[in-house]
Amino acid sequence: MLTVERLTKSYNRGALAIEDINFVVEPHTFTAILGPSGAGKTTLLRCILQLLRPDRGKVWFQGRDLMTCSARELRESRARIATVAQQFNLVRRRSALENCLGGRLQELPLWRCLFGLFPNSLLREGMAALERVQLLDVAFQRADHLSGGQKQRVAIARALTQRASLILADEPIASLDPKTAHAVLGLLRSLCAEEGLTVICNLHQVELARQYSDRILGIQAGKLVLDVPTHQLSTSDVNRVYKS
Ligand SMILES: Nc1ncnc2c1ncn2[C@@H]1O[C@H](COP(=O)(O)OP(=O)(O)O)[C@@H](O)[C@H]1O
Ligand SMILES: [Mg+2]
């Protein structure tokens, strides 16, 4: 599904934010990326999506080299990759449903986007996605009137409406209370098993990674220092990621 080879990125020719990162992600799995603040987790996700141009290395997604493919191919591949961010990244004044449909705007003619005239089939898909994340009752509420947990579930419903096959989640639970955090991670996990999605999720908390992921990657100062199936994670592995 995703292969990352020797991925390296520096900002402004300074120190390397990530260096020589290699890993393979199998479809329908939940991979947690653990690492202290500043380790390079966000940089890695942004390089995968080509929002940041890596200095060198390769990113293969569904058999396509995202570093060298055409702009049109990159657009097609990005349409299959959804992002879920700590800060929710919803359009605040739009409804939950409209936010979900936002994942498909590029398919629609401009006049439909401008007037908010969405085809019925797309509206049904958006509603089905909201039902899947148990938010049908707030479909017509403005995003900024929703709780943090609800916002994050709308972001996940948007990924479903987008028909993404890969979700890149960057600390999606960092601003949620513990109970809501469990609900959001549980939902992401169930999407891998039930909807055939693949999730890569940056996390701070070892215990949550242990509970919800199939595999754990650890980044320390820009380097991949850990790549284990979750059930094999040991205390010394954790220490390697969080050593000062
Ligand atoms: N836009 C930027 N310009 C310069 N340096 C940056 C920028 N973004 C991140 N960095 C640096 O790159 C390193 C990795 O940052 P980041 O990927 O945000 O780590 P994490 O997400 O693990 O906290 C840090 O040293 C950070 O200071
Ligand atoms: Mg980050």
The pLDDT-based confidence of 14 (bands split at 50, 70, 90) is confident
Is residue 151 pLDDT above 70, yes or no?
yes
The pLDDT-based confidence of 116 (bands split at 50, 70, 90) is confident
**pLDDT score at 189:** 96
- For the segment 107-126, the average pLDDT, to the nearest whole number, is 81
Q: Which helix (H) or strand (E) holds 240?
A: helix 235-242
Q: Which residues lie closer than 8 Å to 167 by C-beta, 6 or more apart?
A: 81, 82, 83, 84, 156, 159, 188, 191, 197, 198, 199, 200, 201
Q: Which residues line ligand 1 (CB under 6 A)?
A: 11, 17, 35, 37-43
pTM: 0.94
Is residue 65 pLDDT above 80, yes or no?
yes
- For the segment 194-222, the average pLDDT, to the nearest whole number, is 95
- For the segment 94-113, the average pLDDT, to the nearest whole number, is 84
Q: Of the bound ligands, which one is closest to the alpha carbon of residue 174?
A: 2
Cα of 240 vs centre of ligand 1, distance in Å, is: 20
Cα of 75 vs centre of ligand 2, distance in Å, is: 24
Q: Of the bound ligands, which one is closest to the alpha carbon of residue 16?
A: 1
The pLDDT-based confidence of 111 (bands split at 50, 70, 90) is confident
Is residue 117 pLDDT above 80, yes or no?
no
**pLDDT score at 118:** 84
Structure tokens at 26: 């199998």
Is residue 244 pLDDT above 70, yes or no?
no
Beta-carbon count within 10 A of 68 CB: 10
Cα of 112 vs centre of ligand 1, distance in Å, is: 38
Ordered structural domains, the chain, with CATH: 2-80+165-242 (3.40.50.300)
Is residue 112 pLDDT above 80, yes or no?
no
The pLDDT-based confidence of 243 (bands split at 50, 70, 90) is confident
Long-range contacts of residues 12-21, Cβ cutoff 8 Å, at least 24 apart: 15/222, 16/222, 17/43, 17/222, 18/43, 18/44, 18/47, 18/219, 18/222, 18/223, 19/222, 19/223, 20/57, 20/223, 20/224, 21/57, 21/219, 21/223, 21/224
